């Protein structure tokens, strides 16, 4: 069996530009066949033609708007039923900056649909397909803002990305014993089109904090190769993340109890 066949196919959402397009490039060079999904079919076709010519892999292009149930359902079916798919890169997402009250409720709902509902449904479909085969990898693109609400006060975007990290961790705990691999990638500020699409504008982001997208994806793949569950490409010392996790675990025994903590001074009811 060739290395290419053994790796199978990778389904990459948001594959027409930015992080998704670079993932497509790197995975093709690693020998994965590709299923590219995004709204911009023209860009995907151009990317697919280049990757077929450069790497010889098979590339399918699927035009899909993941805020639309029918488009989402087609990808779910592919993930559940196509045994060649071994990797999902859940990358499609959007940002929405500005205060909570200044954002229209319909725009907030669309953001949640793309960043939370679509990510969840695709991960569910992939896990459902991978589980019986005892192999498969799900990479979910989250964000460092999910760890730092003070960076974007009132931002639903940050809340959606915190959800993505939490989902990835819980899926790992539940499904890794079945042979599935999970990774949450938490980019910081990255040089992609998301800034202009969100209305913030790339020109308004300090250049010294913008990571080139190819370096981001290369670091994320290195983290995946190393077996990291959570990858923060800009984090110099992984011990810092380990310390955060240890502090969270320390809370565990006191997160739920029969009585309120004594520090609140609540009068405890006498036993009947």
Query: Of 23, 32, 157, 163, which one is the catalytic site residue?
Result: 157
Full pLDDT tens readout for the chain, 272 residues: 344 456 999 999 999 989 999 999 999 999 999 999 999 999 999 999 999 999 999 999 999 999 999 999 999 999 999 999 999 999 998 887 778 888 889 989 999 999 999 999 999 999 999 999 999 999 999 999 999 988 876 689 999 999 999 999 999 999 999 999 999 999 987 766 664 565 556 566 666 678 889 999 999 999 999 999 999 999 999 999 999 999 999 999 999 998 999 999 999 887 76
Expressed in percent and rounded to 5, the helix, strand and coil fractions of the chain are: 55, 15, 30
Q: What does the domain layout of the chain look like in residue ranges?
A: 3-240
In degrees, rounded to 5, the angle at the alpha carbon of residue 158 between the alpha carbons of residues 152 and 109 is 110
Q: What is the DSSP letter of 139?
A: E
In angstroms, the CA 41 to CA 259 distance is 57
pLDDT of residue 117: 98
| Sign of the C-alpha dihedral computed for residues 52, 57, 61 and 64 taken in this order | negative
Whole-number pLDDT of residue 1: 35
Q: Return the pLDDT at 121.
A: 98
Alpha helices in 155-253 (DSSP H): 156-175, 194-197, 213-225, 238-251
Backbone angle region of 155, left / alpha / beta, with phi > 0 → left and psi within -120 to 50 → alpha: beta
Q: What is the pLDDT of residue 96?
A: 79
Whether the model pTM is above 0.85? yes
Contacts of residue 225, Cβ cutoff 8 Å, sequence gap at least 6: none
- Answer whether 38's CB lies under 8 Å from 13's CB: yes
Contact indicator for 88, 139 with CB cutoff of 8 Å: yes
Residue 199: the pLDDT is: 56
Distance separating alpha carbons of residues 168 and 76, to the nearest angstrom: 18
**Phi, psi of 36, deg, nearest 5:** -100, 130
Q: Residue 189 has what pLDDT?
A: 75
Alpha-carbon gap, residue 185 to 143, rounded angstroms: 7
Task: Render 50-107 in DSSP notation, one character per residue.
Answer: HHHHHH---EEEEE--TTSHHHHHHHHHHHHH-TTEEEEEE-------S-TTTS-HHH
CA–CA separation, 48 and 60 (whole Å):
8
16 C-beta neighbours (distance < 10 Å), count: 25
- Examine the residue annotation and report whether 23 is marked as an active-site residue of this protein: no
- Residue 99: the pLDDT is 80
Distance, in Å, from the CA atom of 221 to the CA atom of 241, rounded to the nearest integer, reads 18
Domain over 3-240 is classified CATH 3.40.50.720: yes
């Amino acid at each position: 069996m060739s290395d290419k066949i053994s790796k199978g196919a990778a389904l990459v959402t948001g594959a027409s530009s930015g992080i998704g397009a670079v993932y497509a490039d790197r995975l093709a060079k690693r020998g994965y066949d590709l299923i590219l999904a995004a709204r911009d079919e023209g860009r995907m076709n151009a990317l697919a033609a280049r990757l077929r010519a450069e790497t010889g892999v098979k590339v399918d292009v699927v035009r899909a708007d993941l805020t639309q149930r029918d488009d989402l359902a087609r990808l779910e079916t592919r993930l559940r039923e196509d045994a060649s798919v071994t990797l999902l890169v859940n990358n499609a997402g959007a940002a929405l900056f500005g205060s909570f009250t200044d954002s229209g409720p319909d725009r907030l709902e669309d953001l949640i649909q793309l960043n939370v509902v679509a990510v969840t449904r695709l991960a569910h479909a992939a896990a459902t397909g991978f589980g019986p085969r005892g192999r498969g990898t799900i990479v979910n693109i989250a964000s460092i803002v999910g760890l730092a609400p003070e960076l974007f006060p009132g931002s639903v975007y940050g809340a959606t990305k915190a959800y993505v990290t939490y989902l990835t961790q819980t899926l790992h705990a539940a499904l890794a014993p079945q042979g599935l691999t999970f990774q949450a990638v938490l980019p910081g500020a990255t040089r992609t089109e998301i800034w202009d699409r969100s209305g913030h504008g790339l020109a308004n982001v300090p250049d010294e904090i913008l990571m080139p997208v190819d370096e981001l994806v290369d670091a994320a793949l290195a983290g995946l190769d190393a077996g990291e569950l959570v990858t923060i490409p800009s984090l110099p010392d992984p011990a810092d993340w380990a310390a955060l996790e240890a502090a969270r675990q320390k809370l565990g025994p006191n997160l739920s109890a029969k009585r309120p903590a004594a520090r609140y001074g609540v009068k405890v009811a006498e036993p009947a």
